[in-house]
Structure 1
Amino acid sequence: MRHDKGKDRELAAFLQSRRARLRPEDVGLAASGERRRVPGLRREELAALAGVSIAHYTRLEQGNARNVSAAVLDAVARALRLTEDERLYLHRRAHPEPAPPVETPALRPGLRQLLASMETVPALILDSDTTVVAWNRLGAALWADFAVVPRERRSISHLLFLNADFRRLHGDQLSRVAREAVAHLRTLAARYPGDAALAAHIARMRAESPEFDGLWNALHVRGVTHRVYRLEHPQVGAIEVHGELLPLPDDPPLRLDLFTTVPGSASQAALRRLAAVGTRPASQDC
């Protein structure tokens, strides 16, 4: 979200939060013993570490990234000790690329055939706002009966924060998974600044779920591509699956989400049992 004067409030909040988490001793500065009014480094300390003027850094931290070069952004990222995901987020917020509105392409027959062919691998196709737009039979058996969930409630966010069955599936891992999901949405929002549907989805989730809103305000940033889920499945019990979220270059912004288990593991045996007993249908034509 941006002010009408060109200042990016989310960029400002992000930089302030990352400065606040650094202590002087974290960056090799001697502790003076003086009590600080606010946590973290002072602006002048951060500016000195980045090698930029205090005035220059102050404008940036106020959300004014006009005329700030990529080299300066990288210097600030190093001084703040940002992760690679956070560094990319900083660049995308500071210098958003002009982009046409993002529209979900129609699902090609080849993609539907690909899903249907994966009889032993749970598979989903996600839109830019993480709405599940297609799935195979084992994907539904593992995660949810997507066919009975209205499309507007079928995003990973809705399921994680507002669907009791989906939340129970994650057991004691729910808080971690929820935090990572919101952090991933933040990277998507920066990557697709012209995606009105994604912006509306985030606004709707913030309004409907105080838990989501709190995590959004925490400003976590992490692109989630590969991850591990330890599930408590109602049909087969404990199962650990490894997820790989893959881009579909010819069908942006769709992503293919695949889930596997370690060969020879109890989880592989559980997934095989699920494939045998699962009755939830695949999405249409899969």
Structure 2
Amino acid sequence: MARQELAHYLRERRAALRPHEIGLAATGTDRRTPGLRREEVAELAHMSVDYYTRLEQARGPRPSPRILDALARALRLTPAERSHLFRLAGSSAPPGISVERRVRPHVARMLERLPETGAIVTDAAYDVVAWNPLARALLGADPGGGTTNLARRRFLNQGRMYESSSAEEFGHIVVARLRRAADRYPHDPKLAALLAELHANSAEFRQIWETRPVHAPGHRTKTLNHPKAGALRLNCDVLLVPEDDQEVVLITATPGTTTRSALSTLTRA
């Protein structure tokens, strides 16, 4: 029975994953179904097509945790779906290996539907993985379109960091989140390099790190001194994307205020 349930789940998840989500073209008369082919999943999981086919047909041996982890990555499973896959196979899911740095398409589309709200998505290492035009106008895009990391902005002055009334509090928020990330993803090389860089180059970061700060996402207000729009009184609210360990930050202004008018001007710019 367990083999049948695992086989059904693999078939179900393969059918639900669209080719464009992994960079494959969905055109062509030879693709009769919207999901992935078995050989495509096998290639993504670095296993033979025969082995993967036997798993889908409930004929294969009990897969090892390494095989299950490869399947979870190939099928783009969320942490909850990954844990379910391991349970179906009779194994305990080990912690995730790396920080999720992709933003889900529906989350990215949501950002574009908020023209009068600045919105950014950050991963567990504080890389900005998506942001809308108003957020870029408010926070300033990095020259050259390089990766924007808010921890580097805050502690290493890398990229534009406008003067803000919440700078001190934000430093503690950043460290608290990075400490959680370090516990969850101890083998993520990019995260390890970021932490090493911050420890080596910021005495303030090292000092806050030793205090082991704890901060929960929520509603906050701050004043941002924008080079074009002047002093802006902003509301910041955080929505969680728990399956990817990401946060969506929504930046708004109170209706009827000069800040709201300034945001409308930035939106049109």
Settle same-fold status: TM greater than 0.5.
yes
Runs of 4+ in 1 over 6 A off after TM superposition: none
Letter in 2 for 1:263: P
8 Å CA contact 1:101, 1:196 repeated in 2: no
Distance 2:166 2:104 in 1: 35
Structure 1 unaligned regions, length at least 5 = 1-96, 278-286
Change (3 A) 1:247 1:264: same
Change (3 A) 1:148 1:112: same
Could you say which residue in structure 1 is the equivalent of 2:113?
Answer: 117
1:204 paired residue among 191, 194, 197? 197
8 Å CA contact 1:184, 1:224 repeated in 2: no
1:127 paired residue among 101, 106, 123? 123
Could you say which residue in structure 1 is the equivalent of 2:153?
Answer: 159
Could you say which residue in structure 2 is the equivalent of 1:104?
Answer: 100
Distance 1:180 1:249 in 2: 17
Equivalent residues in 2 for 1:144-223, closer than 5 Å? 144-146=140-142, 148-151=144-147, 154-163=148-157, 166-170=160-164, 172-193=165-186, 195-223=188-216
8 Å CA contact 1:181, 1:224 repeated in 2: no
**Structure 1 residue 195 displacement after superposition:** 4.4
- TM-score, normalization by structure 2: 0.58
Distance 2:206 2:188 in 1: 20
Distance 1:228 1:276 in 2: 24
Are 1:226 and 2:219 counterparts? yes
Q: Which has the higher contact order (CA 8 A, sep 6+)?
A: 1
Could you say which residue in structure 2 is the equivalent of 1:33?
Answer: none
Could you say which residue in structure 2 is the equivalent of 1:264?
Answer: 256
**Structure 1 residue 164 displacement after superposition:** 6.8
8 Å CA contact 1:236, 1:270 repeated in 2: yes
- TM-score, normalization by structure 1: 0.54
**Structure 1 residue 98 displacement after superposition:** 4.8
The alignment's C-alpha RMSD in Å is 2.6
Change (3 A) 1:183 1:103: closer
Distance 1:227 1:192 in 2: 28
Distance 2:230 2:240 in 1: 31
What is the DSSP-based 3-state SS (H/G/I as helix, E as strand, rest coil) of the residue aligned with 1:169? coil
8 Å CA contact 1:187, 1:222 repeated in 2: no
Deviations 1:173-229 (A, max 9, x none): 433332332233324434555545334322221112222222212332223333222
Change (3 A) 1:253 1:146: farther
8 Å CA contact 2:118, 2:251 repeated in 1: yes
Could you say which residue in structure 1 is the equivalent of 2:75?
Answer: none
Change (3 A) 1:150 1:143: same
Letter in 1 for 2:258: A
Structure 2 unaligned regions, length at least 5 = 1-92
8 Å CA contact 2:224, 2:233 repeated in 1: yes
Change (3 A) 1:211 1:273: same
Letter in 1 for 2:126: T
What is the DSSP-based 3-state SS (H/G/I as helix, E as strand, rest coil) of the residue aligned with 1:183? helix
**Structure 1 residue 166 displacement after superposition:** 3.6
Could you say which residue in structure 2 is the equivalent of 1:254?
Answer: 246
What is the DSSP-based 3-state SS (H/G/I as helix, E as strand, rest coil) of the residue aligned with 2:117? coil
Letter in 1 for 2:197: R
